[in-house]
Amino acid sequence: MQKIIILDFGSQTTQLIGRRVRELDTFCEIMPYNKFPKDDPEVIGVILSGSPYSVHDPEAFKVDLSQFVGRLPVLGICYGAQFISHILGGKVEKADSREYGRANLQTVDTTNPLFKGFEQNSQVWMSHGDTITAIPDGFETIASTNDVKQAAYWSSSPLGKGQGEASLWAVQFHPEVYHTLQGKTLLKNFVVDICGSKQEWSAASFVDSTVAELKEQLGQDRVILGLSGGVDSSVAAVLLNRAIGQNLTCIFVEHGMLRKNEFQQVMDDYRCLGLNVIGVDASEKFFGDLAGVTDPEQKRKIIGRDFVEVFNAEAKKITDAKWLAQGTIYPDRIESLNITGKVIKSHHNVGGLPKEMHLQLCEPLKWLFKDEVRRVGRQLGMPEHLITRHPFPGPGLAVRILGDITPEKVRILQDADDIYIRGLREYVDTDGDTLYYKVWQAGAILLSTVRSVGVMGDERTYEHPVALRAVTSTDAMTADWAHLPYDFMAKVSNEIINKVRGVNRVCYDISSKPPATIEWE
């Protein structure tokens, strides 16, 4: 299948570039800046992302442009544009002031294929400290702003006449972000018109190709799949079931930190889907191993280890199992390790398996963003209530309880969370929409390391606050806090305080991602 390669130089918005390309029904891979696939005949174009570095920093990321410049169409964005200019003989200097925020393109060359359909004075989003003060010989400026003369430039022969036929474009603004109003047009011009994408990437094509690949990869082997109750693992299970049928054995682990009554509800759903499911209650083991642990990363590692141990025990009962399948999706892998090698947060289903399991890893959704997973679920004919279920962290409520984990703290949070989620499902706003479906993800967080003073009746209380979190998003890479109606918030807060023993205060988290993450731990 045709693909666009996005070389990641560490920008916060690299994943947004990927999302925009996928929205054009074109497959793309985000790869570290130094891992360009030299011999892949399916690559039709290359995009260079932004970066937190200056091209003059000693530790700045660098790539050998000769691997693709002149051979494939190239689009450099922000740092990518500055790096290209810097390497090919232009000049990049420190800007008099950081160029950050909205700007308007002027003198746009709308005859250039990259700017086809653009309007003059179109709004773009800038975010850089350096600026290109001179472009390389043989290149031409095709857009400017009041403050940035070289807002965009290009060359039809970037390596000189006779040195390659593929053109190169570079822009100092970010076409992938919402604030660049014609950013989608620019990316479509590049991906579809310039690179020649046939726009063959879709949920239907993904299902057909992945089922065929799974049949070839797995053959008659038996596969174990770890179910979490969430959208990702559920879609992975149905996809695998379509490919290999009863050779798939699903294991759903009760680790004691699921939502209220969730274990039985999810088991019933899976059986209705015709899946071969084994339910395992390992809550005692998880609570024991988590006792006294307060560090968020350590919690995740313990839960990940315990999951593997539970699967190992079950795998021994299925003597012919050769594979462990997981619902790992693209954001899981991206957030687990970025190109600088720094862990943002670990995911229990990322990172491989211990040697003693003797199982190979199968991750059929590893290239999908969350909204793509949902589209695949609909293509597979799954019930809507499973597809639209809010994302839920693999470690469950363990990463929504600050401090150590105890069954009593889980009970408090389950009760508060149940009131909150039921309220979202029941509330219909003035547009006639159910609030739950207008929110990407919601959940309650127990601030168990904090106690606050309250008054109930004539008595003083000294109990825990609960924070409510609700965000809007399309892919979980960025998120904004949801502006929930005041009457809804008042009703839910009152019900939690009155009905949940151990809580006397309710707060609402109004942090966006970035800088905050969706989960608190």
CA 66 to chain centroid, in Å, comes to 31
Task: Give the pair of three-digit tokens for residue 378.
Answer: 């609909």
Active site members: 78, 174, 176
Taking the C-alpha atoms of residue 3 and residue 42, their distance in angstroms, rounded to an integer, is: 6
Contacts of 117 by beta carbon, 8 Å cutoff, 6+ apart: 110, 182, 185, 189
Does residue 503 contact residue 474 with C-beta atoms inside 8 Å?
Answer: no
Q: What are all long-range contacts of 348-354, with beta carbons under 8 Å and residues at least 24 apart? A: 348/300, 348/303, 348/304, 348/307, 348/394, 348/395, 349/226, 349/304, 349/307, 349/394, 351/304, 353/308, 353/324, 354/308, 354/312
CA 186 to chain centroid, in Å, comes to 23
Nearest to 225 by CA among 245, 263, 254, 251: 251
Taking the C-alpha atoms of residue 398 and residue 35, their distance in angstroms, rounded to an integer, is: 36
DSSP strand E in 114-187: where?
123-134, 140-143, 152-155, 168-171
Taking the C-alpha atoms of residue 59 and residue 63, their distance in angstroms, rounded to an integer, is: 13
Does residue 389 contact residue 421 with C-beta atoms inside 8 Å?
Answer: no
Pairing of strands 277-281, 248-254: parallel
Rounded (10°) angle between helices 203-218 and 370-379: 80
Does residue 76 contact residue 170 with C-beta atoms inside 8 Å?
Answer: yes
Task: List beta partners, residue 201.
Answer: none
Kindly list the strands in the beta sheet with 3-8, ordered across the sheet, starting from the edge strand earlier in the chain: 27-32, 3-8, 43-48, 74-77, 168-171, 152-155, 140-143
Pairing of strands 91-104, 168-171: unpaired
Taking the C-alpha atoms of residue 411 and residue 516, their distance in angstroms, rounded to an integer, is: 26
414: three-class secondary structure by DSSP = helix
Taking the C-alpha atoms of residue 113 and residue 13, their distance in angstroms, rounded to an integer, is: 24
What letter does residue 119 receive in the DSSP assignment? Answer: P
Contacts of 494 by beta carbon, 8 Å cutoff, 6+ apart: none
Handedness of CA 215, 216, 222, 226 (dihedral sign): negative
Q: What is the radius of gyration, based on Cα positions, of the chain?
A: 25
Taking the C-alpha atoms of residue 182 and residue 55, their distance in angstroms, rounded to an integer, is: 27
